[in-house]
Chain A
Amino acid sequence: MTGEGLMVKRKVPFELYDINILASKDEDLKRISSDMSLGLSLDEMKVIKGYFEKEGRNPTDIELQALGQAWSEHCCYKSSKSILRQFVFGIDREDVLSRGDAGVMVFDDKHGYALRAESHNHPSAIEPYGGAATGVGGILRDVVCMGAQPIGLADPLCFGPIDTAADLPPGVKHPRYLLGGAISGIRDYGNRCGIPTVTGGLFFDERYIGNCLVNVGCFGIVKREELLRNFAGGPGEVMILIGGRTGRDGIHGVNFASQDLTATSDDDSRGAVQLGDPITKEPVIHACLKVNEQKLITGMKDLGGGGLSCVVGEMALAGGCGADVDMEKVPLKEEGLAPWEIWVSESQERMMCTCKPENVEKILEIFEMWDVSATPIAKTTDSERMRLFWKGEKVFEMDLEFLTGGPLYDRPYTLPKVSTKKDEVFPDLPGNNEVILSLLSDLNIASREWAIRQYDHEVRGATAIRPMVGKLNMTGPGDAAILMPVRGSMKGLAVTTGCNPWFTALDPYKGGMSSMDEACRNIVAVGARPNAITDCLNFGNPEKPERLGEFREAVRGIGDFAKGLGIPIPSGNVSLYNEGSGGVSVLPTPMIVGCGLIDDTRKAVTADLKKEGSTIFLVGKTLDEMGGSLLFRKYGGSGGDVPGVDIERLKETMDKLLEAMDKKLVLSCHDCSDGGLAVSMAEMCISGDIGAEIDIQAEGPDMKRALYSESNSRWLVEVDEKNAASFKDIMKGYAVKIGRTGGNALSIPKAGVSISVKDMRKAWSDPIWKIMGGSNQ
């Protein structure tokens, strides 16, 4: 704690300090911020000093700690908000029901569906099991506090190559260890809560070595009449703290998330990693949904980043009121916590609800039934201030606007130089057989079965399309999962993940667009129409202009795509400062979690080839866009145009393809992404256990681009021969016949390709098992 003279212990029987900032010079202000781990800049400290000068007193340690939480990048988006406002806010449609802690969209006449994604990157780099598990816990709470029953989880993860033999920087844990821990954490938490993990992604690259990314997404279903707000109904209400007890775990988590990782983060910040308890969470979900169903509460919000310090102020302010809090009522894990520790602790499994005083007793009874602790700790008031009391002693009184307002910055940025065809170096390649097998074995393509089967992806009995599709015990990769959340209804919610960090690194604008395109084509591939997306934007240090430039351009790409296609983004999350020790930034990673709707799930389509003798079409156009492709990364190519998106063309293609699917003309469909057409075709053969003969009109280098270019807005489609003409009629010029199914090998005679399905399956299936241990045989 900070030194002589600046901190004065107040004469009360508990730990409380007044911090003498009124007398502090710049040097002292800096020292206070760093000694108290506030994470506030000198300018911010000066603003705070100005506020307390007007109040005519010094702040307490709790007040400064609360400001440190509320003004962190994590809580107030001070570096990102102006950019988000410019490009992605306000894309509206009348079926957006809420933009609360989770976004909520119309599902059908009676129901809405909730969606939200979030990062848990820094905790997971220190303690992957706990970090990932509590990430799942937090995202579940975001959905529950909309009054929604969680129905599915998403888990996109980025790590260094798990087979790396390189020397790791000091303090950095091996990617293999981090991946194993994160998967176990998600597995144990998701499975124990009984929510299926149905989509996600694994991304491997050197640039994630120092700072892995653990993103989690959650989907929920809510009756529209039970949709809940995340704030108080007005003054005179009671705030009830629900769930776990408060302890020293997770102190300063948001500050930790708002700075770069360093070599000593492990020792310095282990206390910032929260501990999860899914078996507390599960009844908390039940009980919270119950009190909402009985219309006993006015608002609900989860305790995430910043703990009580953020949730109380935000619920009161948004409800147009102030709050008085009795801090000694907060149930504790252990004695002896200082009031400021209680106030900022991020202990898990906690929620807050607001209610009219007459409903308190009924609410407590319901929580009692589920053995969930519930304690009234505060009242809303008709002032604009929040006051905290500890056994009668006032320890905190601040204006809520000032506390939760936070600074906003237009930080300087530089626009990145993007990769183009002009500087393209096309690599030397071995024969195409070898290339295809080696792409299939690449960590970024190879089977994720090792992870996927550890997740219960069908608890709740509503999973119609799974992450892996095809013949029993011969499955291959799917595109999107489909859930049927309303019992007795055929309506489905398609959910998926899209992201291309390599494109984003070479051309952030096109990378943002491509990530959106991937999410949309995955949804279309199963026969659903893209409806809304949520995102988790993982970028580097925004105080470095080139990092912020990447962020800005990627967000612009996402925004242009969303506006062009009319797709709302009712919730989102930004995670900055993703840099490992030595200042290596992660690849700029705009993780898109997409949702689509399908009216009749019986018409859903999967990627596995269904029969011999059917016709294969390529839908969409392959362009000379090799920039960022897996082929270039693997074989040392460089430069090249990064794939862009022609929105109008995508719209047309998508509409026509969905029309053909609705008419049941499509037997199977798979999007073309990493590895291009060749890899997509191989994957369809693997999951269907059927070969294919492909005839592409191209030669020489053009053939290679045709096979491996990763141009957007493309799908491979299998159509029964008897329906091929009708399919072509609908698709007009957007589909080209490229071959037929049959035999037990993928053959592309003009490219000299002939590989048995069995060899392709082996190349694709084994790599991750081999590294992580175990086998699928």
Chain B
Amino acid sequence: MEDHGGIQPMRPEDVKVCVLTIEGTNCEDEMADAFRAVGAQAEKVHLKQLIGKTPPETRKDLEDYDILALPGGFSAGDYIRAGAILAARIRSSIGKEVERFVDDGRPVLGVCNGFQILVELGLLPAFDETMSKTATAALYTNDSGRFECRPTVLRNDNRGKCIFTSSIEKGRTLVMPIAHAEGKLLSLDPNFVQRLEDNDQIVFRYVKEDGSKAEYPWNPNGTESDIAGICNPAGNVMGMMPHPERVITRLTHSDWTRNCRSMEGDGLPIFRSVVQKIR
């Protein structure tokens, strides 16, 4: 029997996921369905329900959930920096609860706009504290200057810290689509990539189909060191630009009619990893 160090993992059906929405989030249905596909309970929750701005019977408490997921979209229109408005709203309302949630070791996933929000919130890269006071990195406009929707190939470069890749072997490549205009991870810190590397915070890198170093369009946005996804130093907060929730089945992969190894989509292992590992 596997040693769980005395703490039993939760049964998947007991895992409660909060999929957070506000106006302009639009990938919440597929995000909730992705968690359901691995047996968890997922609920779409509007930020107003968490901060007590709705009738009492519809209010929710972040404390009651085991996983927090921030789906993609254009929160509040993203008319200023992507993710900035929602991040500011979260920080000013339930910032403390979110910080406690993360300190508690509970997993937080941000995809696309969700990743941008995690960076704006200071939950990523979060080198020195759980939630830095101000953002220390940003997701900047793609080198092409355009919104792009295309498949990408990702390599799992995490050495074992990130809970979301716990069941994915290191070096395995996964195909997932991106759909964003701002996905180039930047920081003013000259040692940014090295620090991520040292802390085992790099989760996914864009690569070519054969696993070799990416260039455009395989690296779709020009991000430094081809980084597609990172986690916090504790490994329980992960943000990524590609959309794993869109490839839960092989049938939504872009080339499945010529390349159909199994019916399982490449996004599924991410959700399975976290739901199996949570305790």
A binds B: yes
Instruction: Give the interface of A toward B (CB within 8 A).
Output: 187, 191-194, 278-280, 282-283, 365, 369-371, 452-466, 469-473, 475, 484, 487, 601-602, 604-606, 608, 610, 668, 688, 774, 776-777
User: Do residues B258 and A608 form an inter-chain contact, with CB atoms below 8 A?
Assistant: yes
Which residues 5-56 of B sit at the A interface, judged by CB distance below 8 A?
A: 23-24, 26-27, 29-30, 33-34, 46, 48, 54-55
18 extra A-B contacts, CB within 8 A, seeds A458-B243, A459-B72: A187-B147, A191-B147, A192-B74, A279-B74, A280-B23, A370-B46, A456-B149, A460-B27, A461-B27, A461-B29, A461-B243, A462-B30, A463-B252, A464-B251, A470-B258, A472-B175, A472-B255, A605-B257
Determine whether B179 belongs to the interface, using a CB cutoff of 8 Å to chain A.
yes
User: Do residues A282 and B23 form an inter-chain contact, with CB atoms below 8 A?
Assistant: yes
User: Do residues B27 and A194 form an inter-chain contact, with CB atoms below 8 A?
Assistant: yes
23 A-B pairs with C-beta separation under 8 A: A191-B147, A191-B179, A194-B73, A278-B77, A279-B23, A282-B26, A453-B148, A456-B149, A456-B179, A458-B252, A459-B72, A460-B30, A461-B29, A461-B245, A461-B246, A462-B30, A462-B252, A469-B257, A472-B151, A473-B150, A473-B151, A475-B254, A601-B251
**Hey, which chain B residues are within 8 Å of A457, CB to CB?**
149
User: Do residues B179 and A472 form an inter-chain contact, with CB atoms below 8 A?
Assistant: no
**In the complex, how many angstroms separate the beta carbon of A551 from the nearest chain B beta carbon?**
37
Cβ-neighbour of B258 out of A365, A371, A458, A606 (below 8 A)? A606
CA distance A487 to B246 in the complex (A): 12
**Hey, which chain A residues are within 8 Å of B73, CB to CB?**
192, 194
User: Do residues B30 and A369 form an inter-chain contact, with CB atoms below 8 A?
Assistant: no
CA distance A371 to B21 in the complex (A): 13
CA distance A470 to B151 in the complex (A): 12
**In the complex, how many angstroms separate the beta carbon of A191 from the nearest chain B beta carbon?**
6
**Hey, which chain A residues are within 8 Å of B29, CB to CB?**
460-461
Which residues 86-106 of B sit at the A interface, judged by CB distance below 8 A?
A: none
CA distance A279 to B177 in the complex (A): 24
**Hey, which chain A residues are within 8 Å of B74, CB to CB?**
191-192, 278-279
**Hey, which chain B residues are within 8 Å of A460, CB to CB?**
27, 29-30
**In the complex, how many angstroms separate the beta carbon of A151 from the nearest chain B beta carbon?**
11
CA distance A453 to B142 in the complex (A): 13
Give the residue among A283, A456, A457, A475 with the most B Cβ atoms within 10 A: A456
User: Do residues B33 and A459 form an inter-chain contact, with CB atoms below 8 A?
Assistant: no
**Smallest CB gap from A609: residue in B:** B258
**Hey, which chain B residues are within 8 Å of A464, CB to CB?**
251-252, 256
Which residues 196-251 of B sit at the A interface, judged by CB distance below 8 A?
A: 209, 216-218, 243, 245-248, 251
**Smallest CB gap from A603: residue in B:** B257
**Hey, which chain A residues are within 8 Å of B137, CB to CB?**
none
The dominant DSSP class at the A interface is loop
**Hey, which chain B residues are within 8 Å of A365, CB to CB?**
55
CA distance A453 to B33 in the complex (A): 25
**Hey, which chain A residues are within 8 Å of B151, CB to CB?**
472-473
**In the complex, how many angstroms separate the beta carbon of A466 from the nearest chain B beta carbon?**
6
Given contacts A454-B147, A458-B246, contact A471 B217 (CB under 8 A): no
Given contacts A606-B257, A774-B145, contact A487 B217 (CB under 8 A): no
**Hey, which chain B residues are within 8 Å of A459, CB to CB?**
26-27, 72, 179, 246
| Chain A to chain B: the 5 pairs with minimum beta-carbon distance, closest first | A194-B26, A461-B30, A279-B77, A461-B246, A456-B179
User: Do residues A470 and B255 form an inter-chain contact, with CB atoms below 8 A?
Assistant: yes
**Hey, which chain A residues are within 8 Å of B216, CB to CB?**
777
**Hey, which chain B residues are within 8 Å of A369, CB to CB?**
46, 48, 54, 58
CA distance A461 to B144 in the complex (A): 24
User: Do residues A192 and B77 form an inter-chain contact, with CB atoms below 8 A?
Assistant: yes
User: Do residues A472 and B153 form an inter-chain contact, with CB atoms below 8 A?
Assistant: yes
User: Do residues A371 and B255 form an inter-chain contact, with CB atoms below 8 A?
Assistant: no
User: Do residues B258 and A776 form an inter-chain contact, with CB atoms below 8 A?
Assistant: no
User: Do residues A370 and B251 form an inter-chain contact, with CB atoms below 8 A?
Assistant: no
**Hey, which chain B residues are within 8 Å of A453, CB to CB?**
146, 148-150
Cβ-neighbour of B149 out of A192, A193, A458, A777 (below 8 A)? A458
CA distance A462 to B248 in the complex (A): 10
**In the complex, how many angstroms separate the beta carbon of B228 from the nearest chain A beta carbon?**
15
Determine whether B135 belongs to the interface, using a CB cutoff of 8 Å to chain A.
no
**Hey, which chain A residues are within 8 Å of B246, CB to CB?**
458-459, 461
Determine whether B76 belongs to the interface, using a CB cutoff of 8 Å to chain A.
yes
User: Do residues B248 and A461 form an inter-chain contact, with CB atoms below 8 A?
Assistant: yes
**Hey, which chain B residues are within 8 Å of A606, CB to CB?**
257-258
